[in-house]
Structure 1
Amino acid sequence: MTPTSTSPAKSPFRWQSLLGALAALAMGFSATPARAGEEILVQKAVSTVSSRYGQSWQDLSITLLVKNLAYHKEVSVSMKQPDGTWADLPAYYVGPAGSGASGREIWKVTRMYTSWGLDPQPSRDLEFAAKYTVAGQTYWDTNQFNHHHVGRGDGPYQPYNPVLVAASFWRDNGDLDVSIDVHNLAYAKNVTVVYSTDGWATSHEASASYVSGYSSGYAYIASPNVQNVERWQAHIPALPGNVVLYAVRYEVAGQTYWDNNFGVNHQHTRP
């Protein structure tokens, strides 16, 4: 079973290459971007601030969806620094996005800004754009030239995806918990995990419930947060076998959205 995936897309225009070039110059970059499209998209960003034993730190992760245009490529996030300058944070390759035919890859940037050490780094609100250089061309996701903005303690930000799996956790007793982030598009909504333990010979459903707030490490995140992202959680009791395949269905305002991991579904293997 492979549910149909809805993928919000940005609509490119002929004049975007000029605007993209101006945006790059405004950020202090000399490379001329190619026409904006879906060559690179910010899939998700998460920023939290934690404190413990008198120390504080900011954890940052940014997940990028990149079109695989060539083997050799440079993927990064251009991040505004506290002093107003811009710096490229290199991304690392995570894996393919879905099957090989999709032609996309997942890349990621992670950082920790700590209040201790030889060179302590202050926590900061984030302003950034995604950058992708391949085959002599540079592509950007500048959020329609407004840049992406995430507060230092906002938690999750997902600019284009109404629903994304945040994490799954297999308990010792065989239960599986799935945490899900959804855009708060309307008050009334249904979030459901569709799953199988026998390779989709049979399937089952588990309803997710709204979570009003939650902890991430030593940080607390409100739900919905200032990015209007809500946390939902599904509990699947006593799963047999060692592998579960699942996708998430999000029904809201007469629309149905799926997170099916780019068409190949999510997979969780018992540790």
Structure 2
Amino acid sequence: MKKIIYLLIFLVVSSCAVEDDFIESQEVTDTIEEVSSKTMKPVTLIKAWDHNMNLDSGETFFLKKFTVKVANLGYEKKVSIYHKKQSGDWGEIPLSYSFNIDDQSEIWTTRLQTIGTEYVKEFVVKYEVNGKTYWDNNNGENYWVFTRPQGYRFGDNLKVSVDQEFSKIYYHSNQKRSFNILVDVKGNIGDNKEVGVVYTTDNWASYQFLSLEPRSDYGPVPGYYVISPNYFGIERWHNSVLIDKEVDAVEYAVVYKVDGVDYWDNNYGRNYRISKEF
């Protein structure tokens, strides 16, 4: 049994990472005006989401989510989404440090909810450290996203990503809980596809494999549906499985098999871990 556990851990932690390593710094920009003419530096967009829906009050609810990877070039740093407003002016959305991937790179994120604030459309990623400014501006093209109902846009290197917002353990009955998993994949890279989750409820003393199914849309709440595949070729895959009520937590990683190649989202070697809500 120990050999099985070690093999599983090796597969989950050592398989293909969520995305390739960042491209080393080639050039530094110093002014905002140079955004459109510079190429990617030691900062990389992982994924972006800008969603809105109309509330019963007549106001508009906006949800903005961004994940960015930066090279750890210094202790004091600032990472932000620099975006063009509807007025034509540019503004910044600050990101917060989430965790270290290793000694060389970090993940920074934000999840911003607002009422009645304009959406993000065109944007770049801005990274300030050691008195210098680096940009990821999509190789001079800048990034852009849709508001509802498009869902995530992936950076160039991302192939599969767990949507942690809707991957949860839910109450099902007095005897069972439901482990719900939602995954986004870049669907336009091949035709022969399989998406699945390797999970354990007993700290890898045993494990299971759950196949996921593609969804044409996903709407956890009214007005919050997402088209799949979306304009950027991102597909949503989903499934759920019943687990014993005594289970307090599930640890898991996701694999995306396409045209003979395996892509893993194992949370950068940390695996994902979720606990039951009650």
Q: TM-score, normalised by structure 1?
A: 0.83
Distance 1:73 1:9 in 2: 20
Residue in structure 1 matched with residue 55 of structure 2 by the alignment: 52
Q: Report the 3-state secondary structure (helix = DSSP H, G, I; strand = E; otherwise coil) of the residue aligned with 1:175.
A: strand
Q: Secondary structure at the match of 1:219?
A: coil
Matched with 1:152 is 147
Give the aligned partner of residue 8 of structure 1: 20
Stretches (4+) displaced over 6 A: none
Q: Describe the superposition over 1:118-152 as per-residue Cα deviations: whole angstroms up to 9, x where unpaired.
A: xxx34x45111111111222221111121111112
Q: Which residue of 2 aligns with 1:225?
A: 230
- Show CA shifts across 1:91-128 (max 9, x none): 222x2144xx354333223444534xxxxx34x45111
The one-letter amino acid of 1:179's match is L
- Counterpart contact for 2:29–2:133, Cα < 8 Å: no
Q: TM-score, normalised by structure 2?
A: 0.81
| CA distance in 1 between partners of 2:180 and 2:236 (Å) | 13
Secondary structure class of the residue paired with 1:82: coil
| Shift in CA distance, 22/71, structure 1 to aligned 2, threshold 3 Å | closer
Q: Could you tell me how far apart the structure 1 residues matched to 2:113 and 2:276 are?
A: 29
Q: Which shifted more, 55-64 or 204-213?
A: 55-64
**Paired residue type of 2:20:** P
Equivalent of 2:95 in 91, 94, 107: 91
* Closer, same or farther: CA 141–56 of 1 in aligned 2, 3 Å: same
Indicate conservation of the 8 Å contact 1:91/1:109, yes or no: yes
2:212 aligned counterpart, secondary structure: strand
- Say whether 1:252 aligns with 2:253: no
- The DSSP-based 3-state class of the residue aligned with 2:33 is helix
Cα separation, 1, equivalents of 2:140 and 2:31? 7
**Cα distance, 1:158 vs. partner?**
1.2
Corresponding letter in the other structure for 1:91: L
SS in 1 for 2:29: helix
Amino acid at match of 2:257: E
Bigger drift between 105-114 and 52-61 goes to 105-114
Are the aligned partners of 1:5 and 1:260 in contact in 2 as well (CA < 8 Å)? no
Deviations 1:149-202 (A, max 9, x none): 111222111123110000211121322011000011233310010111222232
In structure 2, the residue matched to 1:114 is: 115
Q: Are residue 68 (structure 1) and residue 72 (structure 2) matched?
A: yes
- Contact persistence 2:65–2:110 (CA under 8 A): yes
Distance 1:264 1:10 in 2: 19
Partners of 2:22 and 2:71 within 8 A in 1 = no
Match of 2:139, SS state, is: coil
Query: How many percent of aligned residue pairs carry the same amino acid?
Result: 28
Residue aligning to 1:118? none
Partners of 1:148 and 1:83 in 2: CA distance:
18
Contact 2:16 2:262 in 1 (8 A): no
Report if aligned partners of 1:78, 1:86 keep a CA contact under 8 Å in 2: yes
CA pair 246-97 structure 1, distance change in 2 beyond 3 A: farther
Question: 2:22, 2:44 within 8 Å by CA — same for their partners in 1?
Answer: no
Q: How many residues align?
A: 253
Q: What is the rounded CA distance, in whole Å, between the counterparts of 1:175 and 1:112 in structure 2?
A: 27
1:183 matched to which residue of 2? 186
Preserved contact between residue 35 and residue 135 of structure 2 (Cα < 8 Å): no
The 8 Å contact of residues 218 and 225 in structure 2, kept in 1 or not, is answered as yes
Task: Give the superposed CA RMSD.
Answer: 2.6
Within 2, Cα distance between the matches of 1:206 and 1:40? Answer: 34
Give distance in 1, aligned partners of 2:198 and 2:133: 39
